[in-house]
Structure 1
Amino acid sequence: MTTVQEREKIQDQFKQRMNEDDLLNCMRCGFCLPSCPTYIESGFDEAHSPRGRIALMKGVVDGLIEPDEDVERSLNLCLGCRACEPVCPSGVNYGHLLEEARDIINQNKKHPLPVQVIRKAAFHHLFPHQNRMRNVTGLLGFYQRSGLQKLARNTGVMKLFPETLATMEKVLPAVPKMKEMKNRPEFLPSRGTVSKRVAFFSGCLMDTMFMETNNATAKLLQAAGCEIVIPKNQACCGALHGHSGEKAEGKELAKRNIQAFEDLNVDYIITNAGGCGAFLFEYGHLLHDEPEWHERAITFSTKLKDFTEVLIECDFHKNVPLSLPPGIVTYQDSCHLRNVMHTSSAPRRLLHAIEGTEFREMKDADRCCGSAGIYNIVESEMSMQILDHKMEQAKASRAAIIVTANPGCLLQMKLGIEREGLSDKMKAVHLADLLYEAMPLDPDKPH
């Protein structure tokens, strides 16, 4: 619980730091309400809608509301999916308000000691250091390959964990060996005539736990005529920090990435993870109050593109024959890819290009799946409610393959499939992996 002194500090920071123009721009029209998953799943509770949360923030700024546990609870229950932004007639930057409010609260309250230790370990000592990410992921790989995973399942040890975590353990991808994670390329040539020179943002989890998806993405880009530069000194994008009230650390990671990419002389900076891409896309806003970095951040962000946009621009879908066995395929939008980076048609155009499959649009494909970074761990009950709704729509599509464009979404959809007992009828895959599977065989591709 926050103390009186902490609440006073939080209220003062709200007055100093919150963007009053954005708070005042909200007309309370309610256009955002039907797009908000937590508003719907909470039984239409106004406090869990974008309009309601903005009213709470404005109330704290005006001194009419104390920043108590109820205010913090409302903000924490938000997924940050930002589906409210495209439908807002006033163009309110809700996501910016949410991140600022969370940062103020987290930096001005004293967390219980166990929470402090976990936050410090994850946000300061793990994610910013790729060698440590490899080591931790390597331990997971050892657990999977050594027989410990089988032992844990057979002895019922996993039943000691919360249901969501126990199920999540079942759907984690097979982790690459440490040697493979360490020996990563810094340059990959185009296959054929060079059409674009691009830099690839490899990410932290994407280049460890989801390394094969990064490899598939690179091969797709090569086949599209791209030569690829992969700077070794890039860092975690900082999205988890920015969304979890660790803005200062997120800024430091942003600066490291800007420095790593700014002198590469490339056409685009490519991402294949919607959550990472959206945060990278907004480095200009993140560093708006630091003049020496602001322009550099904007230059960085203007070069950013999702890999699907580049494949379409290079006519990959026209020049490379794609085919898979017959089956129905559907697509689950990454919230941040759609709502922040405004990429929604390119993934669908690529899926339509795969011969043999039928693409079938899923109802509410643009509605959040409930993953939202670590939301499905810290807000498991609400996350599972949202996932249950998503799985209803997935089943109604009769698709055998659910395609996603973000690692969190991928794990969440795999979790939904497992919870529904559909693992023998349905699978979830990243779009890059599916497209690579649909490509003609190349010398590096397993038969």
Structure 2
Amino acid sequence: MTTVKEREKIQKQFKEQMNEDELLNCMRCGFCLPTCPTYIESGFQESHSPRGRIALMKAVVDGVIEPDEEVEKSLNMCLGCRACEPVCPSGVNYGHLLEEARDIINQNKKHSIPVKTIRKVVFEGLFPHQNRMQNATGLLSFYQRSGLQRIVRSTGILKLLPDNLALMETVLPTVPPLKEMKNRPTHLLSKVETKKRVAFFSGCLMDTMFMKTNDATMKLLQLAGCEIVIPKNQACCGALHGHSGEKDGAKQLAKRNIQAFEDLKIDYIITNAGGCGAFLIDYDHLLKDDVNWAERAQAFSKKLKDISSILVDLEFFNMKLSLPQQVITYQDSCHLRNVMKTSSEPRKLLKAIANVEYREMKNADSCCGSAGIYNIVESEMSMQILDTKMKNAVATQATTIVTANPGCLLQMKLGIEREGLSSKVRAVHLVDLLLEAVQE
């Protein structure tokens, strides 16, 4: 609960910091409504639509309403998938408005001591420090490899957790040993004639929990003709901070990454996680008001490219790609599609694999409900969205569901478990499937 004093301060900052021109850009036309998962799944509640949330923000700016718990609930219920942006005839940058509003509310809200402690540990103590991420993930590796996981599962302790958290434990990837996570490459030569010199954004969770996917990404780049530089001093992209009302922390991470990549003499910065890529490409907006960093951020953002885009540019689809006969479908990463504008490239690569039948999923461009930690903090709505997504996935009769973001991957694996299809259907990251298909 926010106090009167807190609400007054929030209202003042809304007036001072929210981009009123952007708020006024919304024409209330409703083109965004059919694209918004929370609007649809909430039974068409206006307050859970992009148009409705913009109206609430504008009302707070104008002093018509107070920034009370209902306003905060509406903003928190948003997935931040940004599917509303490509269909908006006025080009409203809804994602920027949402992050600004969340940041103002969070910076002026008194969290309980447990919540404050958790946020401090996560946002300040863990994610900005890759060595700590490695050590923390190393504990998960020990849990999986020592036999402790088998013991925990056999005792039924997991049944004490909420159903979704218990299921999440079963879909986590097998984490490599800590020694492997700490021994990462910094420079790789192309395996064929060099066509491009690129830098690889390895990320925090991607280079620990999903390290094998990073390895697959780098191998594909090498096979496509890329020399790869992997800066050792790069950091977490800051997406978790930016989406959770920790904008200052996101800015600090952005500056660290810009410094790490800006003097490398490269053609592109390559990402393999839609959520990370979308936040990285938005650094120019994040630092637009900082005279010392705005231009540097713009130069950084211009070099961002998703792995699927560069593979298509380098005609990787002309390689001999083959898999055992199967039906596959693709679930878009919202941020890859809506922010990085990358949707045809993954499909082109998948359709190039011999023996594979590609079937388009209905509403593949609609969010799966993962959205960072949304499936934990807004579990009910997340599972409602996932159930709808799985109906569409099952209708394709695909045995392989492909996506391009770690959160989406875990969410689709969770959906497969919830549907009892784990013996028939698998979910896999695009680059892992492509590496399976490479016939060297």
User: Match of 1:196?
Assistant: 196
Could you give the per-residue CA deviations for residues 45-74 of structure 1, whole angstroms, max 9, x where no partner exists? Answer: 000000000000000000001000000000
Is 1:267 aligned with 2:278? no
Question: How much does 1:291 deviate?
Answer: 1.1
Secondary structure (helix, strand or coil) at the match of 2:66 reads: coil
Structure 2 counterpart of 1:418: 417
1:230 is aligned to 230
Q: Quick one: distance in 2 between partners of 1:87 and 1:404?
A: 22
Instruction: Give the counterpart letter for 1:428 in structure 2.
Output: A
Residue 106 (str. 1) matches residue 106 (str. 2)? yes
Letter matched to residue 214 of structure 1 = N
**After superposition, what is the alpha-carbon deviation per residue over 1:198-238, rounded to whole angstroms, capped at 9, x for unaligned?**
00000000000000000000000000000000000000000
Is residue 2:60 matched to residue 1:53?
Answer: no
Offset of residue 179 of structure 1: 0.8
Shift of 1:148: 1.1
Is 1:321 equivalent to 2:320 in the alignment? yes
1:316 CA displacement: 1.0
Distance 2:176 2:304 in 1: 28
- Post-superposition offset of 1:147: 1.2
1:304 counterpart = 2:282: no
**CA RMSD, 1 decimal:** 0.5
SS at match of 1:199: strand
Q: Distance in 1 between matches of 2:65 and 2:342?
A: 38
Describe the superposition over 1:344-386 as per-residue Cα deviations: whole angstroms up to 9, x where unpaired. 0000000000001001100000000000000000000000000
Distance 2:305 2:21 in 1: 29
Deviations 1:95-132 (A, max 9, x none): 00000000000000101111101100001100000000
Question: Structure 1 vs Structure 2: percent identity of aligned residues?
Answer: 75
**Residue identity in the other structure for 1:204:** C
CA distance in 2, matches of 1:161, 1:227: 46
**3-state SS of 2:228 partner:** strand
State TM-score, norm by structure 1. 0.98
C-alpha deviation, 1:87, in angstroms:
0.5
Which SS does the other structure have where 1:38 is aligned? helix
Q: Separation in 1 of the partners of 2:48 and 2:178?
A: 43
- Distance, in Å, in 1 between the alignment partners of 2:413 and 2:19 is 38
Structure 1 match to 2:94: 94
Partners of 2:7 and 2:125 in 1: CA distance: 29
What amino acid maps onto 2:334 in structure 1?
C
Distance (Å, rounded) in 1 between the aligned partners of 2:136 and 2:49: 37
AA paired with 2:211?
M
Match of 2:363 in 1: 364
Which residue in the other structure is 1:19 paired with? 19
Is 1:80 matched with 2:80?
Answer: yes
Residue type at the aligned position of 1:33: L
Match of 2:347 in 1: 348
Pairing of 1:44-443 with structure 2 (within 5 A): 44-318=44-318, 320-441=319-440
Letter in 1 for 2:410: L
Mapped partners of 1:291, 1:309: distance in 2: 31
Displacement of 1:436 in angstroms is: 0.3
> Secondary structure in 1 aligned to 2:292?
helix
How many Å separate the matches in 2 of 1:111 and 1:69? 13
Query: For the residues of structure 2 that align with 1:302 and 1:98, how far apart are their CA atoms?
Result: 23
Q: Which residue of 2 aligns with 1:444?
A: none
How far apart are 1:16 and its partner, in Å?
Answer: 0.6
| Aligned counterparts of 2:397 and 2:178: Cα–Cα separation in 1 | 38
CA distance in 2, matches of 1:188, 1:317: 22
Where does structure 1 lack aligned partners over 5 or more consecutive residues?
442-447
Q: Distance in 1 between matches of 2:4 and 2:148?
A: 48
Distance 2:439 2:359 in 1: 24
Q: Give the SS at the match of 1:258.
A: helix
Deviations along 1:242-280, one digit per CA (max 9) or x if unpaired, are 000000000000000000000000000000000000000
Letter in 2 for 1:387: L
Superposition misfits of 4+ residues, deviation over 4 angstroms: none
What SS does structure 1 have at the residue aligned with 2:401?
strand
In structure 1, C-alpha distance between the alignment counterparts of 2:411 and 2:395, rounded to whole Å:
18
Equivalent position SS for 2:357: strand
Deviation at 1:178, TM superposition (A): 0.7
CA distance in 1, matches of 2:66, 2:265: 50
TM-superposed deviation, 1:195: 0.2
SS of residue in 1 equivalent to 2:86: coil
Q: How many residue pairs are counted as aligned between the two chains?
A: 440
Superposed displacement of residue 36, structure 1: 0.3
Letter in 2 for 1:207: D
CA distance in 2, matches of 1:426, 1:124: 38
Q: State the one-letter code of the partner of 1:373.
A: G
Q: Secondary structure at the match of 1:333?
A: coil
- Counterpart CA distance in 2 for 1:256 and 1:86 is 30
In the other structure, the counterpart of 1:445 is none
State the distance in 1 between where 2:147 and 2:192 align: 44
- 1:14-56 deviation line (CA, Å, top 9, x unaligned): 0010000110000000000000000000000000000000000
Displacement, 1:162?
1.1
Distance 1:215 1:422 in 2: 28
Q: Secondary structure at the match of 1:86?
A: helix
What's the CA shift for 1:440? 1.7
Shift of the alpha carbon at 1:192?
1.4
